[in-house]
């Protein structure tokens, strides 16, 4: 039995799944999957592609190794890798929806995902309603005869709101709706939504999965074979696939996912405690703090709280900008999930594409700051925050 199929633990699968050495005649037994750069694969007979490979957009051995590893980590039967998180989302939506359909989405989502719903799919007569699904019962009220899909992030970007995946899956399935969970913030190391009842998981693998801020990517993981075939057909037909080199970088990043997530979380909790007692800080949002409104739910459905936290400072947007520009170690940058600490102002950066009224209504104020805590020495990170807040 291969490492991919065996019931190994998470860290073992991170290293080995999808990457068993090849011992076939003439193969070299590489312990790392080679980067197969060929865009096309020669065959000896017209109707017999070599080992199933024809053209890299359709199937590539390095990408396939990554898809296999990702599926193993999310406890999924199938995985597909795309050129970005948004490419994964777009291909998935094109596979599941047609004109006239309706999506119920969580009210707090990455700004780019909202933009995709509101400004791209909306033009094809696919509407989205945004609902605060931290109250699962609100899903019932939002369902329309043409609703097909429920889409959520838990914890959400940037407010770190946690939704009850099991309860939402039960309501969704009672109405024949599919539940998609964007698991980018926790990675499969801390949360496995398919095990909690979700139908499909999506990732921006640009974040924790890649882990080093040097590779853009997205993925879709699921168990249903018919749906997988539909999505795979569109992965090839639309063509937003992950390149062989980017697949390799992502495979390389995943091998330390368990180690990194532990350290991200340890640092994030210490920083959350530091910020919580600071007089210039109004509130701290982190699911690992007992003050978080869904702390008990987070303990129940996840095995950890990850490395992203948000906090609000007293004062104006100018005070927030001054604080951010004074930091020396934190990079003032969008994105998250890399080994280096990043900090940003969602209202002006990652969520600038969300209308100001909507931002204010859901709590993305002008002084809300989001941190992606890296794996540096915590004392250095806290000292930097301390001097910039002072």
**Using CB under 6 A as the criterion, which residues of the chain lie in contact with ligand P1T when the complex forms?**
84-86, 110, 112-113, 153, 157, 182, 184, 204, 206, 216, 218, 334-336, 350
CA distance 257 to 72: 13
Torsion 268-271-277-281 (CA) sign: negative
Q: Minimum Å distance from CB 46 to ligand P1T?
A: 39
Could you tell me which of 4, 35, 38, 1 has the C-alpha nearest to residue 19? 4
By beta-carbon proximity to ligand P1T, the closer residue of 224 and 334 is 334
Q: Find the catalytic residue in 53, 78, 110, 189.
A: 110
- Nearer to ligand P1T by Cβ, of 143 and 181: the residue is 181
Residue 117 structure tokens: 């719903």
Catalytically annotated residue among 101, 107, 164, 182:
182
**To the nearest whole angstrom, how small is the minimum distance from the Cβ of residue 295 to ligand P1T?**
21
Eight-state DSSP code of residue 241: B
Quick one: which H or E segment has residue 149?
strand 147-153
CA distances from 304 to 155, 156, 178, 276, 296 (A): 11, 15, 26, 19, 12
List the catalytic residue out of 69, 114, 161, 207.
207
| Known catalytic residue at 53 | no
Nearest C-alpha neighbor of 80 from the set 224, 258, 256? 224
Q: 207 catalytic, yes or no? A: yes
CB of 157 to ligand P1T, least distance (A): 5
* Token pair belonging to 363: 């709590």
Per-residue exposure over 195-229, b if at least 16 CB sit within 10 Å of its own CB, e if not:
ebbbbbbbbbbbbbbbbebebbbbbbbbbeeebbe
Q: How far is the CB of 189 from ligand P1T (least distance, A)?
A: 16
Residue 187: count other Cβ atoms within 10 Å of its Cβ: 27
Residue 22 falls in the annotated catalytic set: no
Catalytic residue check, 182 = yes
Q: Say which of 8, 57, 255, 299 is annotated catalytic.
A: 57
What is the three-class DSSP state of 188?
Answer: helix
Q: Give the CB-nearest residue to ligand P1T.
A: 85
Give the residue with the Cβ less far from ligand P1T, 143 or 216: 216
Least Å from the CB of residue 5 to ligand P1T:
29
- Supply 93's token pair: 């939506």
Q: Is residue 44 helix, strand or coil?
A: coil
At closest approach, how far in Å is the CB of 373 from ligand P1T?
A: 14
**Residue whose token pair is 């001097």:** 387
* Catalytic residue numbers, as ranges: 57, 110, 182, 207
């Amino acid at each position: 039995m291969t490492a991919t199929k065996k019931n190994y633990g998470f860290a073992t699968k991170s290293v080995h799944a999808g990457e068993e050495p090849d011992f076939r005649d003439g193969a070299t037994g590489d312990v790392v999957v080679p980067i197969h750069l060929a865009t096309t694969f020669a065959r000896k007979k017209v109707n017999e592609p070599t080992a199933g490979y024809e053209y890299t957009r359709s199937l590539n051995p390095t990408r396939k190794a990554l898809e296999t590893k990702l599926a193993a980590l999310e406890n999924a039967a199938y995985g597909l890798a795309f050129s970005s998180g948004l490419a994964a989302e777009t291909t998935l939506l094109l596979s599941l929806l047609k004109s006239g359909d309706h999506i119920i989405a969580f009210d707090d989502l990455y700004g780019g995902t909202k933009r995709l719903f509101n400004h791209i799919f909306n033009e094809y007569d696919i509407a989205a309603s945004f609902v605060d699904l931290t109250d699962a019962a609100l899903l019932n009220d939002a369902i329309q005869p043409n609703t097909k899909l429920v889409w959520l992030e838990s914890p959400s970007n940037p407010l770190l709101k946690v939704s009850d995946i099991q309860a939402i899956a039960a309501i969704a399935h009672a109405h024949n709706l599919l539940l998609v969970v964007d698991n980018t913030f926790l990675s499969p190391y801390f949360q496995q939504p398919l095990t909690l009842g979700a139908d499909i998981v999506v990732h921006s693998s640009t974040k924790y999965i890649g882990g080093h801020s040097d590779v853009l990517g997205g993925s879709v993981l699921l168990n249903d074979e018919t749906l997988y075939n539909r999505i795979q057909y569109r992965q090839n037909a639309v063509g937003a696939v992950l390149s062989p080199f980017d697949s390799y970088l992502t495979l390389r990043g995943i091998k330390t996912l368990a180690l990194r997530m532990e350290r991200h979380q340890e640092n994030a909790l210490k920083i959350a405690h530091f910020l919580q007692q600071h007089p210039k800080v109004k509130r701290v949002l982190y699911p690992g703090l007992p003050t978080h409104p869904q702390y008990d739910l987070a303990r129940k459905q996840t095995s950890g709280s990850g490395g992203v936290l948000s906090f609000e400072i007293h004062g104006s947007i100018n005070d927030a900008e001054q604080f951010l520009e004074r930091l020396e170690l934190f990079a003032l940058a969008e994105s998250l999930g890399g080994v280096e600490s990043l900090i940003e102002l969602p209202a002006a950066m990652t969520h600038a594409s969300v209308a100001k009224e909507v931002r204010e209504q859901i709590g993305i104020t002008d002084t809300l700051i989001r941190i992606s805590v890296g794996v540096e020495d915590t004392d250095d990170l806290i000292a930097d925050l301390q001097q910039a807040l002072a």
